[in-house]
């Protein structure tokens, strides 16, 4: 199995790769031998993440792109295809949240999160599937959420978009399975990402209440999600496709 985990210089593109789950995923695939290509909107964050990964003896490149924008994703694909002939995997991790009751939710916020959480997956898959199909054992991993399989108060657009990502994953697995392309989704529960810690600092998250809903009585660390995504990318998960992998410490089992 250890041999199947190794990636031997193959390219893995991670969106939202500058911090949190995205950075942890990039670190994990790079440790397994991939060239991690991380993208995001903030160059300083990407540069710092890439330097951290490379400083540990692994390989990482970065590209500034807002994957909610079609032209940016096309530019990213052009950058990647200009340097490498094929791509082993893409991990669609970029996402955002907004809290409001539906009747108070502004249209611009609905559209903004629709673009960030769902359109980005569409753009990335459309542009990169031709490059993925050029390699052996290609994979797409879409980072969704437990709120893509259950509801949560005051998160109508987040729940809607993450649920859409889960089912788009299944649909793509059907269309491209015969060509050897595996497509899976990961549904993290509460995870101590910089964004989540920001919610805690602002008093928007009651950590004690969160822990009560989790059987392991703690939120996840980012690398606990990134490691699962890296496994799904690798050939060790060669017979997994269309799966919805819930990584939530037992949040949704009761």
Q: Tell me how many degrees the CA angle 139-160-188 measures, rounded to the nearest 5.
A: 50
Is residue 122 part of the annotated active site? The answer reads: no
Please report the DSSP string for 135-167 in residue order: SSS-EEEEE--GGGTS--TT-HHHHHHHHHHHH
| Residue 81 CB partners (closer than 8 Å, separation 6+) | 131
Q: How many residues does the chain have?
A: 254
Active-site residue, selected from the candidate residues 158, 176, 196, 199:
158
How is the beta sheet containing 89-92 ordered, strand by strand? 59-64, 35-40, 11-15, 89-92, 139-143, 182-188, 244-247
- Tell me, letter by letter, the H, E, C secondary structure of 54-117: HHCCCEEEEEECCCCCHHHHHHHHHHHHHHCCCCCEEEECCCCCCCCCHHHCCHHHHHHHHHHH
Annotated catalytic residues are 158
């Amino acid at each position: 199995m250890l041999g199947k985990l190794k990636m031997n210089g193959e390219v893995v593109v991670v969106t939202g790769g500058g911090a949190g789950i995205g950075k942890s995923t990039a670190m994990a695939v790079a440790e397994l031998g991939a060239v991690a290509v991380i993208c995001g909107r903030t160059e300083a964050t990407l540069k710092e993440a890439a330097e951290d990964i490379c400083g540990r003896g692994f390989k990482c490149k970065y590209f500034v792109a807002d994957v909610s924008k079609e032209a940016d994703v096309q530019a990213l694909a052009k950058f990647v295809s200009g340097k490498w002939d094929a791509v082993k995997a893409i991990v669609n991790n970029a996402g955002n949240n907004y809290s409001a009751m539906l009747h108070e939710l502004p249209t611009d916020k609905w559209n903004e999160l629709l673009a960030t959480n769902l359109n980005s997956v569409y753009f990335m898959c459309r542009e990169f599937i031709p490059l993925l199909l050029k390699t052996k054992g290609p994979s797409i991993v879409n980072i969704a959420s437990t709120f893509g399989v259950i509801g949560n108060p005051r998160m109508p657009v987040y729940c809607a978009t993450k649920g859409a990502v889960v089912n788009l994953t299944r649909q793509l697995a059907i269309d491209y399975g015969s060509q050897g392309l595996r497509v899976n989704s990961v549904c993290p529960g509460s995870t101590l990402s910089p964004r989540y810690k920001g919610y805690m600092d602002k008093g928007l998250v009651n950590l004690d209440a969160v822990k009560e809903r989790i059987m392991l009585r703690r939120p996840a660390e980012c690398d606990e999600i990134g490691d699962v995504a890296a496994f799904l990318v690798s050939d060790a998960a060669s017979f997994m496709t269309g799966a919805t992998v819930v990584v939530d410490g037992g949040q949704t089992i009761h």
